[in-house]
Structure 1
């Protein structure tokens, strides 16, 4: 007969006696347990320790994300953390849910009408001539001042930057989108790396430092995250942090600051004069025509966040036939309406940049040869403050500087 501890008997009986301590089945008149005594306490202890360890690791990582240098909003930091830790689908689902309950309102008028751009300055002859007024969306009559370009950075050699405001479309008529026009003969572009995206060490700092602040005229966010969402590469200092993708929409900055946009390997490509390349999705405007997939394309064309037809904050950049550069940023934009605004501003080749309110921003400055120049937001209700790009940034961005700083303003 076997005891609860098991008798030392040969062969099969000995094995059964040993295993008996882990079962409910009686062997002879012996054991009656399936698991060791208090097995559930041990299991809970193991699970509890695992949860605590994972929780501590996640907490430390979240704290690091929330306390890193820069002025990124908390919601943006948490979303970035989630995507970095395999929670991208969950973040996207939450963003989509938030959009469904907070869709931009239809109809109405902008409170106070079309504002005059803050920091508007006087005209100065020189440089490229002013572009034609930007036409308002099809189906709406222009409001006073809508689409009228105003000098916002004026130098003795001409107007370097102009700005205007328009409504996004004939439905979302209470929202305002900001548009910047930059003279390529007076300003040149710079691609700044972010400390996280792309990360690494580069010759350009992850902010507009005190030296560049003496000549900077504009700054705005770059494209989608490089960890897959942008479907493109990143190049600077003679090396590709991520491989450049043939056919991808690409913003190219030459060593002299000249900027161009196009499909990589098509209108533009690598050469000894190329200083930086930032790719993002596919071309939005080509040969002056908006990409016909703007309403139907999938994640490969326009990204996985919310959807190309959602009317959310978006931004884009393009060039005109004369080389003038145009930036568009604001709320209540679909991919199609964003592309249409670029086209209306005379852009022949353009690309979508970043989206969502936590990232879309445009800032222009009055360079006076000193650090901390006066700064102005491009469009109303912009979430990103004017000092954002003067601080260390976790994400890459573009700035544009005067080719020579005027002695007097």
Structure 2
């Protein structure tokens, strides 16, 4: 009888143990998955594998869990960089200068003299100053009778005295001689309309020497549901009170908050394209206090992390500034854009893999040369000539009609 009861109890005991093992297996599976993702990011953080694994993990675990894992990685990476700097193992050097792509400036004509876009030196914020820090370097001259004027220029500055290895590289474009375009990617920004773009530069703009530059786009739809419209088609509906860069039909650029700026609304039929992303970095010359508010930047966790960030700004003359750099907060990105002359500005991407900018030059033989703004940036620049999964901006060269004597920026 005793042995019979014992035999009868054993199956029941085994049955009780089975769910216990399964119960303990799930947390271990989650932990192992996180460890795997962290290892992949640590080893391939700036590469294709790292970017792919981060996106896959975001799809599986959701944006909150993915942001937490990403924050752990960024925090660990930043502490490692700090330690290297403190031990004298990290040598801070000026970024490589982009090459001048055309001949030296021609002298201005006697009776036609447009002023060059203002390129005043920026006041360095860290001492000792790196060679060339804060100074603009002209990259290319304007066409035809305007050959004495630069189309674009590059510079760099360090905006955070506490992180002297954080370097922001900048581009400035004279919008009298260039036009900005927005392209929706083959997958992003995605959204409820299920509208997907070509992910590529228009063929007409790839012909000859029309293409000037490509700049990365903004957050994925899952990271804020920010709107995008281009060539009259809405890919993602706009959100109110969100930072927006817009292009009018005559090429004018606008940066402001949707529904706050009088020109930024769905009733304005003069808008050819627009892209939204987070909150304004700079609003009428003042760095937005929201740069210290995590909820305004796609997640409180990531706002506190030092990482690669990029942004776009507009000067008082209406020219475009692009900025990107490592070990940045929204506030320090804003400081760099402000030092460069931006009076309105917004953040775009903050992913180390997707923060990138390229300059393009095609010679008379048809050979295309592509230069990275910063050699640490990923990609080759060729992906935008085919079909890229992410949205992006690009600029084309533009020759205005000849205008008789003026010494100021002509109105457009």
Q: Describe the SS at the equivalent of 1:328.
A: strand
Q: Are 1:287 and 2:278 matched, yes or no?
A: no
- Equivalents in 2 of 1:253, 1:368: separation in Å? 29
Alignment of 1:8-407 (within 5 A): 73-103=48-78, 104-105=81-82, 106=85, 111-113=92-94, 115-119=96-100, 121=102, 122-124=104-106, 129-156=116-143, 157=146, 158-199=149-190, 205-214=198-207, 215-227=210-222, 229-267=223-261, 268-270=263-265, 271-295=268-292, 297-299=293-295, 301-304=296-299, 306-368=301-363, 373-404=368-399
Q: CA deviation at 1:404?
A: 4.2
Q: CA deviation at 1:89?
A: 2.6
Equivalenced residue count is 354
Q: Describe the SS at the equivalent of 2:68.
A: helix
Which 5+ residue runs of structure 1 have no aligned equivalent? 1-25, 52-70
- Equivalents in 2 of 1:323, 1:155: separation in Å? 17
Q: Is the 8 A contact 2:337 2:345 kept in 1?
A: yes
- Equivalents in 2 of 1:371, 1:85: separation in Å? 45
Q: Is the 8 A contact 1:213 1:373 kept in 2?
A: no
Q: Describe the superposition over 1:231-289 as per-residue Cα deviations: whole angstroms up to 9, x where unpaired.
A: 52122343433221121000102233332211111223131121111100111100100
Q: Is the 8 A contact 2:75 2:305 kept in 1?
A: no
> Structure 2 length as normaliser, TM-score?
0.74
> Structure 1 length as normaliser, TM-score?
0.75
Q: CA deviation at 1:139?
A: 4.2
**Counterparts in 2 of 1:160 and 1:370: CA distance versus 1, 3 Å:** farther
- Which protein shows a greater Rg? 1
Q: Is the 8 A contact 2:215 2:357 kept in 1?
A: yes
Q: Is the 8 A contact 2:294 2:301 kept in 1?
A: no
Which structure has the highest helix share of the two? 2
- Equivalents in 1 of 2:234, 2:202: separation in Å? 24
Q: Is the 8 A contact 2:186 2:198 kept in 1?
A: no
Larger displacement relative to structure 2 (236-245 or 367-376)? 367-376
**Counterparts in 2 of 1:174 and 1:303: CA distance versus 1, 3 Å:** same
Q: CA deviation at 1:138?
A: 2.5
Q: CA deviation at 1:362?
A: 1.2
**Counterparts in 2 of 1:369 and 1:259: CA distance versus 1, 3 Å:** farther
Q: CA deviation at 1:321?
A: 1.1
Q: CA deviation at 1:367?
A: 4.2
- Equivalents in 2 of 1:194, 1:165: separation in Å? 29
Q: Describe the superposition over 1:137-180 as per-residue Cα deviations: whole angstroms up to 9, x where unpaired.
A: 42434333112111223232332111112224223323432100
Q: Is the 8 A contact 1:330 1:361 kept in 2?
A: no
- Equivalents in 2 of 1:84, 1:257: separation in Å? 37
Q: Describe the superposition over 1:196-229 as per-residue Cα deviations: whole angstroms up to 9, x where unpaired.
A: 1134556x631225432231111111111122x2
- Equivalents in 1 of 2:91, 2:120: separation in Å? 19
Q: Describe the SS at the equivalent of 2:74.
A: helix
Larger displacement relative to structure 2 (152-161 or 127-136)? 127-136
- Equivalents in 2 of 1:305, 1:194: separation in Å? 27
Q: Is the 8 A contact 1:165 1:379 kept in 2?
A: no
Q: CA deviation at 1:32?
A: 5.9
- Equivalents in 2 of 1:370, 1:291: separation in Å? 48
Q: CA deviation at 1:370?
A: 7.6
Q: Is the 8 A contact 1:134 1:344 kept in 2?
A: no
Q: Is the 8 A contact 1:95 1:305 kept in 2?
A: no
